[in-house]
Amino acid sequence: MQILHTVSDIRHCVQNWNNAGERVAFVPTMGNLHAGHLQLVREAKRHADKVVVSIFVNPTQFGINEDFADYPRTETQDCEWLAAEGCDLVFLPNVETIYSPNAQTSVNVSQVSKNYCGASRTGHFDGVATVVCKLFNIVQPHVALFGLKDFQQFVVIQTLVRDLHLPIELIGVPTVRELDGLAMSSRNSYLSEEERAFAPKIYQILQQSHEHLKAGKTIFDVEIYAISALTQNGFRLDYFKIARRSDLQPATLNDDELIMLVAVKLGKTRLIDNLWFNK
């Protein structure tokens, strides 16, 4: 497995693969890898001849008083795990490589970015869209894979690829969960032992909410139930919403492809999850 740090080196490597007629898959990450990331790599190998993984903690998607400085950096372990999974190339740039000192360009995906995490984390999705656009331009993959735990992020990137006519196939990979149902996340390491034992209640409430919908409860009633259940269980609610999967607008009775989106704080840790289904 190669580990490269510069734009010119990674472009040269990928160009050689392209010249040989090999298909390239790309998995962008912020490192501190877990089993969910490794599942993305395994899935990438099913869709391409070569797999590139980037490890870059992107400063522009962190807001004021968020955890950029404290975000776990585990590059050595990450690279060992990626090598064991058969990853072909790790792109490990520094901030100056991705953002030149006089950079003046950012990317905004307006409509799908403004609600949910976009409402509570000002500028977050501009940072995501900008860095993903940069990484796509650097790596120039045929296919890119993203986990669906952050479903809003996936829809933002989907919209970016569509609107800018980028020749990249996007694949969303279902959320990988711990045995007790907690969605795997790098931020789970922030949880205390007591908080970690309590955190699976998020997914349990999502499942219970889905059961209420299947039993005939209205969307409004289920949202009220879930908000009450989360707050009564001690979570500090950011949002809970049932939306259309296609554009994340609030769901109506006429919509069939739905998703429940939730974000809460448990202690100091912000956790997100979702559950998607067809009505």
Catalytic residues: 37
The single residue listed with the structure tokens 């807001």 is 63
Q: Give the Å distances, CA to CA, from 194 to 34, 198, 213, 263.
A: 21, 6, 31, 19
Phi, psi of 93 (to 5 degrees): -85, 160
Amino acid at 6: T
CA distance 171 to 173: 6
The single residue listed with the structure tokens 């196939």 is 169
